[in-house]
Structure 1
Amino acid sequence: MDQEDILDTSQLSFDGDFDDQVQEILQFVRLTADRVEELQLIFNNLEDALQQLAPGCQVIPFGSIVTGLGIKTSDVDCHIVLPPNIAPTIRHVTGARNILKRYYRTFAQVIAITAAKVPIVKFIHIPTNCQCDVNFQSPIGVHNSQLIALLLHWDKRALPLAVLIKYWSKVYKFTGTNLMANYSLILMLIFYLQTLNILPSVYDLQKYMPPYFVENWNAAFDSTTYNNSNTSDLSLYELMGGFFTYYSTFNYQQNVISPYLGRVITKKALEDLSTLPEELSLYKDHVLSGICVKIRMESRICLQDPFQHSKNCTVAIYERLAHKIISLFKFASKKYEEESPSSFLKSIFTEDPCIEQLPSPPPKHQRPGNTGQKVEKVPVIQNRIHKNNPKKAKRNLQNSFNNWFAQNNKNLRGNIKST
């Protein structure tokens, strides 16, 4: 199923009550058990091929396949665990690319992206027609996925709620490449459920566990004890509406979303190390010792990573995208207030939210006190382009100047006429 098929919500009937509609959506978008089993072939083929590069290496999947959030358009992410005492290098990335290209009946469109912060190999697995990203250097994604999997299976309402919200974000096109990361959106949901005491904080999962450091951060957590003291009897419908309402009124200007703490922390407290809560002592020590810098909080939405406390997971979300996301939260919250439970899902998945666009920034070359008309600069750059042909350069410069002069005269006449 291609991307456009799964995002075509006109294929959904939205018949029955809220719970019936939830089941229809989940069946429409989620990976089937057979498909998940089929994807195991990717890991087997990849591991077999990479033995030529590093005998004894292992392929560890992470991401939506591990967390249970896989939908029919999901890609697959893998981390390659090299044998002991072998440090990953760029050579492993380029070497993997060269090896996989030899298996042209199994792997297609194989490329190595070596300039990225975490270098990866990308390819399409032909037997399953699935895109896969492979890294050698960063195992943190494996631990993140295991944490999210635990939390989404902690309460029976969490996983279906997460799939619904992930799918909703795809319909309105605000998660994905160069947009908000799916990981960030799910962390926001986890945090919301933590505030209701439905899910535990990551700090609570770590405090009785021996630390296990990955890339200088403690990635240990207790996955065996389910001391769920939650007494919330909110329905899936109420939790979904509550999620939208919570983030439509959240104070983004002052506060940071912290799934590690399971509660809001102010930007001011994170900035001033002397006011940090005791739970963030590792972050404080890392900043003071120079292991990391302070978390960047200039983005409109600030979300602290549950393991890497100096990382703002939403730092790359630009202002217009943040405005769109928050506006969509407000749209869905309004529908929750206005619509009946049986009409709610259809309204938020099919209606136009009519998001008000942010005003455009003022022209860069606007003179103080003028009428706001944009005035073009004389494009003297033409003189440099044609420096080897003086006559052509002079002619181009004169034509450009004439056009600029005529346009400004036209603007001036318009301004005078309107006064």
Structure 2
Amino acid sequence: MSDEVQLSKRLTWLLRHGAVQERIPISFEGFVPVNSIINHPKFARDFNFKKLQDIVKKDKKQLYTMRQNGCWEIRANKGHTIVNVGSNCFRPDLYYHHFEQMFMQELRAIENSRFVTYNHNNKYNQRNKSMSHSPTKTSHVSANGNKCIVCSQKFSNIQECLKHELSQHDIKRTKRPQSGLRSKVKAILTDIKTDEQQTLQKELLNALHKSEPGQELCCIFKHHRMNDEKLDSEYERIETCLYKELPPLRGLRLHPFGSFASGLALRGSDIDIYIEFEDTTRLRENYNPLAFNRINCCLHRSKCFSEIIPVRQARVPIIKCKHIPTGFSLDINISCPSSVNNTKFVRDLLQFDNRIRELITFLKIWAKQLQLIGRGNMTSYCLITLVLFYLQQPQSNQPAVLPSIKELQDNVPDNLIVGVNYAYQLQEKISPLPRELTTSKLIEGFFKFYRCFEFESFLISPYMGEAIPLDKFKRGEISFPGYIANNKTKQPFQVDCCVCVQDPFALSHNVGKSISQLNLEYFVTCINHACDVFEDVNISTDAQRYEALLYGIIERMAEELI
């Protein structure tokens, strides 16, 4: 990604989402004073007046408008997502003539079944439309007439009253912003404040600050990762039990995959196992209910396994169970060999350079600590795919670390597994990473890359190594042979999701489809706070930086939201 594109994405994020967070004034229409950007300590080194003019002039998509209205101002033409514009962001002398738009939006908000009234202390009073018939619990308009709810000043009509409240008291009625995010942060904060979590945190921080410079990540990994030798030993016991307990199903082979097989297992991780039948004629192309049920019955009869739960309706049906002797939880499937091949690619990638292993391992720990991985959120594989895509993008003065999957497959014989080509070649197609590119710089680059990324507008495609505009993809204007060939007998890529992240090999599979809108908002907020950590001049050591990333972000969010 060129510097100009990176700057444009950063400007778009600021104008559409981040103005209030960065304490930059923004009008109701979305206009931001140019001086507030070029004089801001975080943006001054990247933007000046001429640079902003060049970005607007060269932008073929007409994403920005720049105007002179007493002072130079700029806005994003797609609008902003900032729900409540602060008092320091509203200028009545410039925006009174836009009052009609403001007033209509206020009336639409009042018509909603639930709304919130904000005062200058950011406190709210929640009303319910269904209670409007009650003489003691009425809406703001009927209760107060044309009187200001703050200073009680009377007005001849409701329009003048609303105009006064907006300009003088910074009151704006709208749907309750960030209520879901506030609840989520509060729940996570409660979870990490338990005695057990606090003890683990103290142990890690004590060890972290005593570690030698350059050994901080090793210290973190020691506390969060499983011991590889012990893990291998435990898996051998599990494998022996499964072969012993599944005698009715002759000719089967077990293939571990996921974090255990790739070497990314953290404490508390489960073990994923794919069961392959040597006599493939006994299985249909995908899911064989008979074999699935027989495995389920064998596990139920066994004394080595407990908590057996068959999940038949998932995209990949699995049997969840617990191996009693080792205490490990297992996810067993018989219909998805592609997972084994995905894991093989990740494992080979990690072995290529230890810095890539450290990058992915730390981000998994970071995501686990902030509860970014789980139900309704991204999977570990989705996070790894995001890291893969980030490494495929050129950064400022740095070429891309990895080529696209398409390039890795060029001139390599096909390796078709259930119709998907898992062929690739790493050794001759990836250049060694520059020595000066440390793991810390890779971590920082990941956060800064996704801070400006517009998830709602682009499909992330590691296969192509680029972000594909979703609107063009939906209209069929952008396609590629690999997707067409891969999609002949399968459902098309699911685009009606909050996040579209294409599997690097199974091109019709959206690995980000499980992410809800709330969790996308939470993920982006965590990314923004992570960037703030790297830009904080008061944080001078790696130990302080990693502490802030793992434990400080949720505290900062709680201060802002709760």
Within a 5 Å distance, the mapping from 1:324-403 to structure 2 comes to 324-338=522-536, 339-342=539-542, 343-351=544-552, 352-354=555-557
In the alignment, is residue 284 of structure 1 matched against residue 515 of structure 2? no
Cα distance change, pair 192–145 in 1 and its aligned pair in 2 (3 A): same
In the alignment, is residue 208 of structure 1 matched against residue 404 of structure 2? no
- Between the aligned partners of 1:71 and 1:325, the Cα distance in structure 2 is 20
Structure 1 partner of 2:401:
198
Q: Indicate if the aligned counterparts of 2:462 and 2:504 stay in contact, CA closer than 8 A.
A: yes
In the alignment, is residue 273 of structure 1 matched against residue 468 of structure 2? no
Cα distance change, pair 189–6 in 1 and its aligned pair in 2 (3 A): farther
In the alignment, is residue 48 of structure 1 matched against residue 244 of structure 2? yes
- Between the aligned partners of 2:232 and 2:212, the Cα distance in structure 1 is 32
Shift of 1:175: 0.1
Segments of structure 1 that go 5 or more residues without pairing to the other structure are 359-419
Structure 2 partner of 1:369:
none
Structure 2 SS opposite 1:163? helix
Q: Indicate if the aligned counterparts of 2:404 and 2:462 stay in contact, CA closer than 8 A.
A: yes
Structure 2 partner of 1:258:
461
**Does 315-324 or 8-17 show the bigger shift?**
8-17
Structure 2 SS opposite 1:245? helix
Shift of 1:189: 1.0
Within a 5 Å distance, the mapping from 1:15-164 to structure 2 comes to 15=209, 16=211, 19-38=214-233, 39-50=235-246, 52-84=247-279, 85-87=281-283, 89-104=288-303, 106-164=304-362
Q: Which amino acid aligns with 1:102?
A: R
Q: Which amino acid aligns with 1:334?
A: D
The one-character-per-residue Cα deviations of 1:29-70 (angstroms, maximum 9, x if unpaired) are 1111232222222122212322x2321100000000111110
The one-character-per-residue Cα deviations of 1:350-379 (angstroms, maximum 9, x if unpaired) are 111316669xxxxxxxxxxxxxxxxxxxxx
Q: Which amino acid aligns with 1:97?
A: N
Within a 5 Å distance, the mapping from 1:152-231 to structure 2 comes to 152-196=350-394, 197-222=400-425, 225=428, 227-228=430-431, 230-231=433-434
Identity of aligned residues (%): 25
Q: Indicate if the aligned counterparts of 1:155 and 1:199 stay in contact, CA closer than 8 A.
A: no
Q: Which amino acid aligns with 2:267?
A: K
Q: Indicate if the aligned counterparts of 1:202 and 1:262 stay in contact, CA closer than 8 A.
A: yes
- Between the aligned partners of 2:502 and 2:313, the Cα distance in structure 1 is 25
Q: Which amino acid aligns with 2:294?
A: G
Q: Indicate if the aligned counterparts of 1:6 and 1:29 stay in contact, CA closer than 8 A.
A: no
Shift of 1:151: 1.6
**Does 206-215 or 25-34 show the bigger shift?**
206-215
- Between the aligned partners of 1:336 and 1:245, the Cα distance in structure 2 is 9
Shift of 1:6: 7.0
Structure 2 SS opposite 1:257? strand
Structure 2 SS opposite 1:108? strand
The one-character-per-residue Cα deviations of 1:217-260 (angstroms, maximum 9, x if unpaired) are 21222366464254463111111111111111112232222221
Within a 5 Å distance, the mapping from 1:314-333 to structure 2 comes to 314-333=512-531
Q: Indicate if the aligned counterparts of 1:194 and 1:201 stay in contact, CA closer than 8 A.
A: yes
The one-character-per-residue Cα deviations of 1:186-215 (angstroms, maximum 9, x if unpaired) are 111111112142223222221222222223
Q: Which amino acid aligns with 2:462?
A: P
Q: Indicate if the aligned counterparts of 2:225 and 2:264 stay in contact, CA closer than 8 A.
A: yes
Q: Indicate if the aligned counterparts of 2:228 and 2:263 stay in contact, CA closer than 8 A.
A: no
- Between the aligned partners of 2:293 and 2:433, the Cα distance in structure 1 is 49
- Between the aligned partners of 1:74 and 1:264, the Cα distance in structure 2 is 31
RMSD: 2.4
TM-score (norm 1): 0.77
- Between the aligned partners of 1:97 and 1:293, the Cα distance in structure 2 is 28
TM-score (norm 2): 0.58
Q: Indicate if the aligned counterparts of 2:458 and 2:470 stay in contact, CA closer than 8 A.
A: yes
**Does 15-24 or 55-64 show the bigger shift?**
15-24
Q: Indicate if the aligned counterparts of 2:414 and 2:422 stay in contact, CA closer than 8 A.
A: yes
Structure 2 SS opposite 1:80? strand
Structure 2 SS opposite 1:173? coil
Q: Indicate if the aligned counterparts of 2:409 and 2:425 stay in contact, CA closer than 8 A.
A: yes
The one-character-per-residue Cα deviations of 1:149-206 (angstroms, maximum 9, x if unpaired) are 1122222201111111101111111102342101101111111112142223222221
Cα distance change, pair 37–286 in 1 and its aligned pair in 2 (3 A): closer
Segments of structure 2 that go 5 or more residues without pairing to the other structure are 1-191, 395-399
Q: Which amino acid aligns with 1:130?
A: F
Q: Which amino acid aligns with 2:550?
A: F
Q: Indicate if the aligned counterparts of 1:154 and 1:226 stay in contact, CA closer than 8 A.
A: no
Structure 1 partner of 2:201:
9
- Between the aligned partners of 2:341 and 2:523, the Cα distance in structure 1 is 27
Q: Which amino acid aligns with 1:43?
A: E
Structure 2 SS opposite 1:353? helix
Q: Which amino acid aligns with 1:214?
A: I
- Between the aligned partners of 1:216 and 1:98, the Cα distance in structure 2 is 31
- Between the aligned partners of 1:340 and 1:298, the Cα distance in structure 2 is 43
Q: Which amino acid aligns with 1:211?
A: D
Q: Indicate if the aligned counterparts of 1:296 and 1:311 stay in contact, CA closer than 8 A.
A: yes
